[in-house]
């Protein structure tokens, strides 16, 4: 699974700065907190090729510049507009995993390090400031939780099976993207809240007698959730 040690180093430096300013408030005069947040988010966004995080940094920079130079623009709408622009650019710019089946692999990720999950009924998949791929083959699933914050998560569920009367996929996706491949006999019942986000289901579902209705619950905000058969 991919790890970005540079991003972790930036997080450590930010945490150290914030903790230090709690005991030495004069440091905030030398290093303005808004400027530090701007540098942090823009650097982290560039290191992870995440336009959402990068434009959040630009938003903090806009607030900082307004305070320093007494600009008259409204920082709230500008910040929100920059974040939305980052979501749009991230959708078009961010590289995707290849999702075609290959002869030497039984999951659909060709160019990724994939975490294989088997024999778990309650599956929780977490992605924070990174890009991860999961191949789930559990045959006794009850609930799948997909948690993404400022990253991209790719999940192959084509070989998984629910063993409950109330199968659920719970989304907690904010400022990120989740790409989910599901079996053709699953019927998705979308009951999510998705402000400023897209939740789509594409492909062809089979009208099989063993069709399973899967409730899609939770929230996706400033995000994209792509479900494919």
The pLDDT value recorded for residue 67 is 84
Answer for the pair 169, 217: CB distance below 8 angstroms, yes or no.
yes
Between CA 187 and CA 10 the distance in angstroms is: 42
Residue 36 is predicted with a pLDDT of: 82
Cα–Cα distance between 76 and 17 in angstroms, integer? 25
Domain boundaries, the chain: 5-93, 114-228
pLDDT on residue 110 = 53
* Amino acid 11: pLDDT: 72
pTM of the model: 0.66
Model pLDDT, residue 104:
40
Q: What is residue 75's three-state secondary structure?
A: helix
Run of H or E including 95: none
pLDDT at 167 (0 to 100) = 95
Q: Tens of pLDDT along the chain (229 residues)?
A: 445 566 667 778 778 877 888 888 777 666 677 888 888 888 877 776 778 888 988 999 999 898 888 888 888 889 888 888 887 887 677 554 444 433 344 555 555 578 889 889 999 999 987 788 999 999 999 999 999 988 889 999 999 999 998 999 999 999 888 999 999 999 999 999 988 788 989 887 777 777 899 999 999 987 889 999 9
* 168-174 vs 212-221, strand pairing mode: parallel
Check residue 89 and report its DSSP letter: H
Contact, 126 vs 105, CB < 8 A? Answer: no
């Amino acid at each position: 699974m991919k790890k970005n040690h540079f991003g972790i180093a930036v997080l450590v430096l930010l945490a150290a700065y914030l903790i230090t300013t709690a005991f030495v408030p004069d440091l905030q005069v030398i290093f303005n907190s808004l400027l530090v947040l701007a540098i942090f988010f823009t650097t982290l966004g560039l290191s992870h090729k995440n336009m959402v995080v990068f434009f959040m940094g630009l938003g903090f920079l806009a607030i900082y510049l307004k305070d320093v130079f007494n600009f008259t623009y409204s920082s709230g709408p500008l910040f929100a507009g920059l974040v939305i622009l980052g979501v749009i650019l991230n959708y078009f710019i961010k590289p995707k995993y290849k999702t075609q089946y290959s002869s030497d692999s039984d999951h659909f990720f060709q160019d990724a390090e994939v975490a294989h999950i088997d024999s778990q009924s309650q599956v929780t998949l977490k992605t924070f400031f990174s890009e991860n791929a999961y191949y789930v083959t559990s045959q006794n699933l009850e609930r799948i939780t997909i948690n993404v914050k400022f990253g991209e998560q790719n999940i192959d569920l084509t070989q998984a099976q629910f063993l409950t009367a109330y199968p659920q996929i719970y989304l907690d996706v904010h400022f990120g993207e989740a790409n989910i491949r599901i079996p053709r006999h699953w019927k998705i019942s979308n009951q999510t809240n998705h402000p400023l986000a897209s939740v789509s289901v594409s492909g062809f579902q089979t009208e099989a007698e063993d069709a399973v209705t899967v409730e899609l619950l939770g929230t996706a905000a400033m995000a994209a959730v792509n479900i494919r058969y």
